[in-house]
Amino acid sequence: MENWIPLTHQELKLVWETLYRDFKFNPSISRFPSFHVPSPYITYDISVYFEDPSLLHAEEDLEEKALLAFQEHECYWITPYGSFEKDEIGEWRVPVLPNGDYDFFLSKEMHRGLLGHPWEQSITIFGEGLIDSFTRHHPILFQCKIREG
């Protein structure tokens, strides 16, 4: 079974309209945050990953913990119950770690999610249930909070 289910054109249009309208998404390499998420939320600084060579395993840890957290919730555009093949450089099709592009994982109704910001070097988790899941399956990189709401 394919774990990564491509969005239809209509679904993709709805997602981007919602991100720009409801999340006030304004991509920027210097003005942060680039989006506004509903409370509750926590934003973690993950810059240590890019600065400390000893944390190379942290991306794998983040993927593992994210998968555990996603499996506790329904309505994702990924199916978190099958195997997650990695590409030729060892990453998921859409990486959890934002390394060069924004990475968004949103529940179908967009009440919970994980938003990765490559230039702020941050990951924002929002929605009470998903925050609770990541609290239980705490990734190594989630040590330093930038913002909470």
| Structural domain boundaries, residue 63 | 9-25+38-148
User: How many folded domains does the chain comprise?
Assistant: 1
Whether residue 124 is contained in a domain is answered as: yes
110 is a domain residue? yes
Residue 31 lies in a domain: no
pLDDT recorded at residue 88: 79
Q: Which of the 8 DSSP states describes residue 142?
A: T
Q: Is residue 119 part of a domain?
A: yes
Q: Does pLDDT of 60 surpass 60?
A: yes
pLDDT at 78: 67
pLDDT tens column, 30-53: 999 999 999 999 999 999 998 998
User: How many residues would you count in the chain?
Assistant: 149
Query: For residue 95, what pLDDT band results from cuts at 50, 70 and 90?
Result: confident
Is pTM beyond 0.75? Reply is yes
75: left (phi over 0), alpha (psi -120 to 50) or beta: left
As a whole number, mean pLDDT of residues 54-58 equals 87
Element (H, E) at 13: helix 9-22
Q: Has residue 144 been placed in a domain?
A: yes
Minimum mean pLDDT among 31-40, 66-75, 77-86, 104-113: which range? 77-86
DSSP state, residue 39: S
**Given this model, what pLDDT does residue 12 score?**
86
Is 97 a domain residue?
A: yes
Is residue 105 included in any domain, yes or no?
yes
* Residue 100, phi then psi, degrees to nearest 5: 110, -10
In a domain, 72, yes or no: yes
